[in-house]
């Protein structure tokens, strides 16, 4: 099972946009999802099916995929966006895999 690679950290100022990358093999980056996790809390599903937002997730959160790289963008950064963000993909074998996570710091 190959890895999904995420940068360890990303930072941005309030109001700015930040983008997270998630790099994996073509066979792994299929049905991509993104999870937000605040310290001490359970993760929250933010994106599913590569670029779809569940009900209740602000449209400041958007995502896409190109080749073997998935991306999550947060626009209009807010203090409460400071959290860890994990990409997740399901392989054609049916197993799931999380990226290592990216810590977002809002300056």
Partner 1 sequence: QLQLQESGPGLVKASETLSLTCTVSGGSISSYIYYWSWIRQAPGGGLEWIATKYYGGNTYFHPSLKSRVTISLDTSKNQFSLRLTSVTAADTAVYYCAGPFGDSSARGAYFDYWGQGALVTVSS
Residues at the site binding partner 1, with contacts judged by CB under 8 A: 1, 30-31, 33, 35, 37, 42-45, 48-49, 52, 54, 84, 86, 88, 90, 94-101
State both tokens at 15. Answer: 């109001």
Least Cβ distance, residue 13 to partner 1 (angstroms): 26
State both tokens at 68. Answer: 């073997």
Alpha carbon 46 to chain centroid, angstroms: 8
Least Cβ distance, residue 94 to partner 1 (angstroms): 5
Least Cβ distance, residue 16 to partner 1 (angstroms): 25
Instruction: Answer for the pair 4, 87: CB distance below 8 angstroms, yes or no.
Output: yes
């Amino acid at each position: 099972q190959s890895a999904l690679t995420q940068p360890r950290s990303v930072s941005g100022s309030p109001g700015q946009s930040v983008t997270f990358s998630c790099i994996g093999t073509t066979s792994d980056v299929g049905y991509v999802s993104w999870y937000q996790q605040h310290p001490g809390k359970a993760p929250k599903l933010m994106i599913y099916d590569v670029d779809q937002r569940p009900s209740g997730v602000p449209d400041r959160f958007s995502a896409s995929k190109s080749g073997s790289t998935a991306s999550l963008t947060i626009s209009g950064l807010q203090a409460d966006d400071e959290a860890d963000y994990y990409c997740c993909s399901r392989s054609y074998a049916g197993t799931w895999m999380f990226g290592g996570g990216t810590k977002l710091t809002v300056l």
